[in-house]
Structure 1
């Protein structure tokens, strides 16, 4: 603190001397306070006469001095200036701050005057602290205000451009608000109504064969691949024929031996007959006994039996030879039909078993089909099967050819239904009769529309134009430019067109869309502006 009791430090006392005085021993505080200002305790320090408030010149250095308390005020004001304007030069204390010696009324009030003068910039070339701070705040606010205005103008321009881009043409478009512009009409006209039953199915070949070999052994050759077309009777697979050749040779030998035994039996028979003839003549002449005759007859009978046995053995041997020859021929597997190989199951070098083996049914070699004759096996729901008949026309579509429709006819309806995903369906076979049927491949998923009925020359209206109002079937038509509800009697429908039996004429314009549930015109103009 600057003040201690009623005394004060002299104006010109140095800071160090004042600090020394503050650090004086506490034993004599009363003596220090009892001294008047400017007493002999100043110890020879140079004193400025009371009331001498002249400013120091340049040679004396520093700002002008005032009363003793002015030094303290300048110290505090200096700290304030260094905190805010340390880059500026040190200002001079204004003249009105020098008002003579520090009195009782010039303590805090004098300090406040010095601070106010410094803040207002008196005696400073660049103005006071308060004015400079105000100028800085004012300039920053003006710049921010300008930026805000510029940003608002840019945003407004962007919003106007977007509105014009999206809605300008609609806003400037001519208003076609006639009575018929709010709804869509279609004429009622006569035509053919085709009633169909929809189903899904799979393309399958009409004839498909799994080929096996009657002979067994190692596959020597199988030069064909899947997709190759074969002719009926063409050799496809060749097996190792050595085993079958040996069997043929053995059967041939057995046949030859059987033929030799037959010839020998026949010779024995002829001899027995001749012997019996001579024995009979001798017996009649009484040359030989009855026993000799009986022996001759027994010998003939045995010779005849031997011939029959030899003939049977020959037949059996010939049959074995024929079978061996067939098995030898079966080592060459031939195509049973004219068609295309769909799937191969074996390759060259693989050993297969024959279908004649009791241990298995034989090894399948390949499957083939006649792709010139195709079927579609369709699954028809039990609800619609009652309308399906053999010979009905069918329209077939596949995903591979979305822009094409293939024609066909119902060829077979299986009598037994089956459950498919908790739904009972009946299999219906449809023969493909289209000339471009080669575009269809087995296994393709097909959509089928079976034409169950064709109603020709009937009056038709769009199905969506037929409504139910107050328990009546009505169609809204245009009369004098306004929608009018007309009660009608309908017939069959295919979901797109509906047969009109009574109530409409061929010249009536039927309202298809643009009306609400009560048959009133919708506000098309507002809907176009906000949602289109």
Structure 2
């Protein structure tokens, strides 16, 4: 691109309108040579040129959590895919079998839990009945023991008064001792019932274990169902299939169980937004700011220019063979951006600054003398007048 320089001239230059055009680049000398050119007004733009490549908004490598044989691949390269669409399926026969086994194991665990609960209820009911009978027996034995003891004491008093025989006393005494023994036996029965109640804690603990087993089997079923669901792969985004790495009938590995990262099925790209990644030299990176306009061209459409804007500037440079560049991300904003494809090589022109209605002269019209810039202005009489100028 031919560089144009801003010429700030005095009113006299505008009046003259012509100056010498040099055939060689400006250098220190005292006399002009060359042809004349007219001062013009126009636009001047400062740009930074760079090269880059077109990239998509997002590229997602699709892998399957499960391992097995691919039985379905509904989409091929370049086809559009909607988010949630089925894009791959593995043979689910093993996973279906695992689900059935997990369901059977869960039903078995639930049956054992139900049986243990019913057994506990039955034991608690029997124990309650036994406790009732034991309490009744203690009450009856206690009354009988008290009555027998009182009767034996009265007969003992009558025996001392010679009003009862020795045989009657012995009989009453035997009856009292027997009643006392019956009371102790009734109380022992109650102690046995309390021991049985403590034994019920073992049954209750078995129920808690059975409940835990049911939860374990539920989790195992959920895992089996998830593995079955994992045999179907759905698209995580709207996009286009840009690569497909496998075919129907191929055996693939899971990234979860394979240390190598598993098999990539395909790549889906989001092309709703397109970007260009440009490498800008470190000498120019200080001029780049966000939202600066850009012009993008590609070899596929050499006569077409695409608009863009700077959306990201890398804070860290890349050093290759002692040449440092910074990555600048540019979003393509043209309506026909869909003509661009990922990985296309692009030429970038980033607009740094611009000025309209500016005095313009070719670079060859300027010469330097003692560190300052000069031009020769052609006056009305055809003579040449040397004028000092400032360029920018």
TM-score by length of 2: 0.71
How many Å apart are 1:365 and its aligned residue?
A: 0.7
Q: Are the equivalent residues in 2 in contact too, given 1:272–1:296 (CA < 8 A)?
A: no
Deviations 1:305-338 (A, max 9, x none): 2333222222222222222222222222222211
User: Where does residue 98 of structure 2 map in the other structure?
Assistant: 247
User: Where does residue 389 of structure 2 map in the other structure?
Assistant: 488
- Answer 1 or 2: higher relative contact order, Cα 8 Å, separation at least 6: 2
3-state SS of the aligned residue for 1:373? Answer: strand
Tell me whether 1:231 sits opposite 2:61 in the alignment: no
Structure 1 residues 194 and 309, CA, compared in 2 at 3 Å: closer, same or farther? Answer: farther
Q: Distance in 1 between matches of 2:197 and 2:322?
A: 86
Structure 1 residues 295 and 201, CA, compared in 2 at 3 Å: closer, same or farther? Answer: same
Q: Distance in 2 between matches of 1:204 and 1:313?
A: 53
Q: Distance in 2 between matches of 1:417 and 1:271?
A: 79
How many Å apart are 1:275 and its aligned residue?
A: 5.1
TM-score by length of 1: 0.54
Q: Distance in 1 between matches of 2:246 and 2:50?
A: 37
Q: Are the equivalent residues in 2 in contact too, given 1:378–1:448 (CA < 8 A)?
A: yes
Gaps of 5+ in 2: 1-18, 22-33, 139-185
Q: Which has the larger radius of gyration?
A: 1
Tell me whether 1:424 sits opposite 2:324 in the alignment: yes
Deviations 1:242-273 (A, max 9, x none): 11111111111112112212222332343454
Q: Distance in 2 between matches of 1:279 and 1:461?
A: 120
Q: Distance in 1 between matches of 2:112 and 2:68?
A: 34
Structure 1 residues 277 and 463, CA, compared in 2 at 3 Å: closer, same or farther? Answer: farther
Deviations 1:179-222 (A, max 9, x none): 9997252323254x433222211111110011111111111122
User: Where does residue 64 of structure 2 map in the other structure?
Assistant: 213
Q: CA RMSD in A?
A: 2.6
User: Where does residue 189 of structure 1 map in the other structure?
Assistant: 41
User: Where does residue 450 of structure 1 map in the other structure?
Assistant: 350
Deviations 1:97-117 (A, max 9, x none): xxxxxxxxxxxxxxxxxxxxx
- Flag the structure with higher strand content: 2
Q: Are the equivalent residues in 2 in contact too, given 1:344–1:367 (CA < 8 A)?
A: yes
From 330, 333, 341, give the equivalent of 2:241.
341
Q: Distance in 2 between matches of 1:184 and 1:305?
A: 109
Structure 1 residues 362 and 488, CA, compared in 2 at 3 Å: closer, same or farther? Answer: same
Q: Are the equivalent residues in 1 in contact too, given 2:20–2:377 (CA < 8 A)?
A: no
Q: Are the equivalent residues in 1 in contact too, given 2:311–2:331 (CA < 8 A)?
A: yes
How many Å apart are 1:424 and its aligned residue?
A: 0.8
3-state SS of the aligned residue for 1:372? Answer: strand
Gaps of 5+ in 1: 1-178, 492-532
Q: Distance in 2 between matches of 1:220 and 1:426?
A: 46
3-state SS of the aligned residue for 1:200? Answer: strand
How many Å apart are 1:473 and its aligned residue?
A: 0.7
